[in-house]
Each structure stands twice: as structure tokens, then as C-alpha cells.
Structure 1
Amino acid sequence: MTYIYAPSDSAFPNNAMPGTSWHRLQCLQMLDGASAGLVAPYHYVVETDVLAEHENDLNAWYTQEHLPGLASVTGTARAARYLDPAGFPRYYACYDLASLETLGSPAWLAVRGTAWSARVRPAFRNTRRTLFRRG
């Protein structure tokens, strides 16, 4: 799997890598984190689909509670959500982290452990979590 982050007006040549198709993700939400401005050597990505009947709840949860909550955790430099309207998976949440310990911190786990989180997560499908370390 390869991720390429580029400004929305960047052109991706279809012939750059034969057999590869490019998916331009639509940014749904981007927030500076509590540790904005710090070097963030870790990039954590959560990819998921959601059952159609729970899509509105998922988007409300991410917009109102989950993304702002995780952005407010010390160690989070930036939090963002993306949509691939025609792709698989459809939803991506990306977090730039100043410290690996952020993921297991009490504040991070508290945001992940809300009642709304418990209601939404069972509707996730094809979820994959990947942690990248920038060189």
C-alpha cells in the first residue's frame, strides 16, 4: 500500500506506475492538534467502511466527538478525515503524532471509550489500522 499526500490541485499522471490507479481523497475535516507545531514522526491511519444505515451516525460522531477529541490529546499534531467516494475503503482518519505513547495514553483511550464510540464501532467494516514512521 502506498499513500501519497499532495495538494488538491496536484496532477497525478496515470502512467507513472503501470497498473496503478490513483484515488483522490476528499478532505472532510482537518484539525490542528494539541501538539501542533511539534515534529510528528508518526502517522497513524485508520481505514474503514461502514454499514450504509449507520453512515450519518459515523460522520456525526467523527465530526462532533471523535476527531476533535483525539486532536485535543497531547501528542497529536494534526487530525484529519478523508473520503474516497468511489473507493474501498471509503473513509480514512489520519493522525500525525509527536509521540508513539500518544496512542496508548489515558486521554486517547478515554476518547476511544465513549458511549457514542461503542455505538458506532460495530457498524465498521473492512477496518485496517496502520502506523507509519517517517524517516
Structure 2
Amino acid sequence: MRISPDARSDAPGVLLVLNDVVKDMEDEFNRWYQQQHLDDRLGVSGFRRARRYRSVDGQPNYMALFDCQSIDVLASPAYHRRLANPTDWTRKVMPAFRNMQRSACRESWSIGVGIGGSAIVVQCKPIQGREDDARRFIRDKFGPGLMQSTCTVRIALWETDAAVTAAPTSEMALRGGQDSVADWVLFIECYDLGQMALALHTQILSGEGARAGLLIGSWMRYQLICERSAQREAA
């Protein structure tokens, strides 16, 4: 188990992106992601790994995760140069995005090791003034309880940094409108979505989260499409 207070500068960073795409652009959207966008992002110093997922039963239909050395990478000049200079293909595809949620996060806690073939994304937030209580509940009760399920691979808590997330970019303008932003996210990796959903439902129904300062909202189930590491690390 690893625990990182949210203020620690060495906590890993995660860029969480969820979106739908206009139906007649879906094939091109997937080609763009696989053939250009993943490598474009992984070419930025500090980006370590990218993963893509597709929804099993809800929206947004697609999810991408970019693991970074720290959240500072997502505020770095190198990354913002990429955002300020989208490729021609990016300019063509991004206007087709819909229901966009983009959150630059710190991974403040995790338990377990590895990558699951499936994931449940739980949107949540702490009651104002009870952030430490909510973190303790996740660390001491909620997380260990879910780890009792044999299908659980790893659980992480991601806390959004609003300032880093909200920085205006050329790519944001291409998408049109305003991206939505998560508060906190519990990212639960597993290999059996049905079993994991049942365990999660049981934990939520107990009502202990609200009493401990954590408000749990919607959750979505996703299946892994692919995983790719930065070439400099793979080498």
C-alpha cells in the first residue's frame, strides 16, 4: 500500500479523459488515438504510460488515462506546447468530441499492484472541511474492504487539481464548450466487472462513506482497449 498526502509534489500525476464522439467520426477517432495521439502524448517528458478503455454499459463511451511522473508534468511548458500546437489530424477529430470530462489529478493513495483488464470509475468528493476524514475512510475501510474481493487488482484515489485542469488551451477551444471536471475519482481495476460491481454496491449501501465525510456519486464500468508505455522507458 502506498499513501501520499495530496500536497506532496512527488505524488504520481494522472490525466483522466472521458468522452463520447460523433458516430460518423468514431472510426477515425480510434485511428487517430492509436496511430498518433497516444505517441504524441507519450513523447512529452514525464509521461510514462497511456491506457484506453471503452464503456461496457454507459456514457461517456471512451476513457483515456495518462500516467505521469507528477502533476507538474501536466503544467509543464513541454506539455503546453503540445496543447498549443495541435496536429492537423487533431484539429479534424477534436470538434467531434462530446460529453468531455478532463481532469488533471494527483494519485494520493493506492493499494494493489498491476493493471486490470476492466475498471470501475467512481466519481466522489469529500464533504467540505472533512477531506482528511474521507481519505482515512478510503485508506482504512473502503479500499481494504474492496480488496477482499478476489477479482480486485488495484485501487487508486485521484484528486483533481482545479488550477492545473482549468488552464485554457487551443485543444479546449477545438472541442467547443466547457469540459466538465471530476472532484475525486476512485479507480478500481479488476478482472470481473460483475463481481466487482456487486462488492462496490455492497460497500456503498453500508452508508459509511457519508458518515466518514465521503460523498459517492455515479460510477461507470470500462473494458481495457490497450496499454502503451513511453518508448524511452520501454527501451
Q: Deviations over 1:69-104 (max 9, x none)?
A: 212321011111111131632211101111122224
| Percent of aligned pairs with the same amino acid | 14
When normalised by structure 2's length, the TM-score is 0.45
Q: 1:116 aligns with which of 181, 184, 208?
A: 208
Q: Which has the higher contact order (CA 8 A, sep 6+)?
A: 1
Please give the alpha-carbon distance, in whole angstroms, between the structure 2 residues aligned to 1:75 and 1:47. 21
Match of 1:8 in 2: 69
Higher helix proportion (structure 1 or 2): 2
Match of 1:28 in 2: 108
> May I ask how many residue pairs the two structures share in their alignment?
128
SS at match of 2:130: helix
Match of 1:93 in 2: 186
* Residues 1:85 and 1:65: Cα distance change in structure 2 (over 3 Å): same
Quote the RMSD (CA, aligned, Å). 3.2
* Alignment-mate amino acid for residue 83 of structure 1: E
Report the alpha carbon displacement of residue 68 of structure 1 after superposing the two structures with TM. 2.0
When normalised by structure 1's length, the TM-score is 0.71
* Residues 1:51 and 1:61: Cα distance change in structure 2 (over 3 Å): same
Please give the alpha-carbon distance, in whole angstroms, between the structure 2 residues aligned to 1:110 and 1:65. 13
Report the alpha carbon displacement of residue 29 of structure 1 after superposing the two structures with TM. 0.9
Moved over 6 A (4+): 18-22
Larger radius of gyration: 2
Report the alpha carbon displacement of residue 45 of structure 1 after superposing the two structures with TM. 0.7
Report the alpha carbon displacement of residue 25 of structure 1 after superposing the two structures with TM. 1.2
Checking the alignment, whether the CA contact within 8 Å between 1:40 and 1:99 is kept in structure 2 is: no
* Residues 1:4 and 1:57: Cα distance change in structure 2 (over 3 Å): same
Higher strand proportion (structure 1 or 2): 2
* Residues 1:7 and 1:112: Cα distance change in structure 2 (over 3 Å): same
SS at match of 1:52: coil
* Residues 1:110 and 1:131: Cα distance change in structure 2 (over 3 Å): closer
* Residues 1:128 and 1:110: Cα distance change in structure 2 (over 3 Å): closer
